[in-house]
Amino acid sequence: MPEQAPLARLGFGCSVLGGDLSEPAQRALVDAALDAGIRHFDVAPSYGHGQAERVLGLALAPVRREVTIASKAGIAHPAAVGPLGLARRWLRPLKQFAPALWQAGAVRARQATAQRGQFAPEQVLATVQESLRRLQTDRLDHLLLHEVAPEDLTPQMLSALRKLQAQGPVGALGLGTTVEHSVTILGEQPGVFARVQTSHYWGAFTPALLSGSAQLLTHRCLRAGLSLVQAPGLRAAAQTLPGGSGLVRLLARPDALPELLVTAGLRASATGVLLLSSSNPQRVRDFARWVEAPRFLPEADLLNQLLQGQAATGVTAPSQDG
């Protein structure tokens, strides 16, 4: 597979559009991504109870032919009403004064209300139709199966997916699940899935993923990576590498860590796509700048050398979360 142009390897992850930003602020993020040259957008019905798809559809309608959109099936969320909605409004001040506590609570709330395992054919068909409506489009360029397990792929389910492709509302099929499940499914269903989304970029070091034809999409490159690279043990391991002192100095600079991880993610795979997200439009523009003119190349390669060695012994990261 030929190496892609730098910005073709960058996508915008739209989970932030389902957060507590105002709708104009959400639109500004999509506009910043477009202005920066980003043309791939990853979203899901579960992001903001459908809000992310709705906002993305409005923002991309004028340029729909210029972009690709990936959405998902498999996780449904109830509408944000009742006690959950009231709790979010009452607790919103925590976001400003205790962001870590707010984030932890928000993740727990999403996990508690999520309806996972929605892979009956009629559920997938209904999910796709709802996504098309909210996104104001007649086609999903990619449909990823969100937290799918091998046993979810029944003959009826696979038949429904083939029908969606044949009729046109769905382009490429993909997996948005654990590396282990992805490896199993790719082995059991060769040629069906053209995209594999992992929850950390070092999934690119998994031989069974590298040897296949599916394109790797890195989900949460920064969120998963930041907790890992800030661990003291990684710095100690970096110090033992030839030339590792430069990486150690960089790991001690919190301001440089996001750029280091983006660069390392690009270097891990020649064709993988990084899905990056931020609630700050300037940071979105920074993503594109880092991709087009990467710095820290030697340090990124050393970091990948460390992570590739640890991957064989169980490097872990947060699981995919709706």
Split at pLDDT 50, 70, 90, the class of 82 is very low
- Amino acid sitting at position 128: V
Q: Determine if the pTM surpasses 0.75.
A: yes
CA-CA distance, 119 to 145, in Å (whole number)?
Answer: 8
pLDDT of residue 102: 43
Per-residue pLDDT reduced to its tens digit, 171-223: 999 999 998 999 999 999 999 999 999 888 888 888 888 667 788 888 778 88
- Where does the pLDDT of residue 73 fall: very low under 50, low under 70, confident under 90, or very high at 90 and above? very high
Q: Of 3.30.420.40, 3.20.20.100, 2.60.130.10, 1.25.40.10, which CATH number belongs to 12-222+272-278?
A: 3.20.20.100
Select from 312, 75, 320, 70 the least CA-distant residue to 215: 70
Beta bridge partners of 140: 170
- For residue 231, what pLDDT is reported? 83
More confident residue, 99 or 68: 68
Average pLDDT, stretch 1-30?
Answer: 85
pLDDT, residue 316, reads 45
Q: Which residues lie below 8 Å from residue 271, measured CB to CB, with a gap of 6+? A: 1, 2, 3, 4, 9, 215, 216
Domain boundaries, the chain: 12-222+272-278, 223-271+279-315
pLDDT digits (tens, 9 = 90+) for 130-150: 999 999 999 999 999 999 999
What is the reported pLDDT for 96? Answer: 53
DSSP string, 53-99: HHHHHHHHGGGGGG-EEEEEES-B---S-HHHHHHHHHHTHHHHH-H
The pLDDT, as a whole number, for residue 311 is: 55
Question: Is residue 68 predicted with pLDDT exceeding 80?
Answer: yes
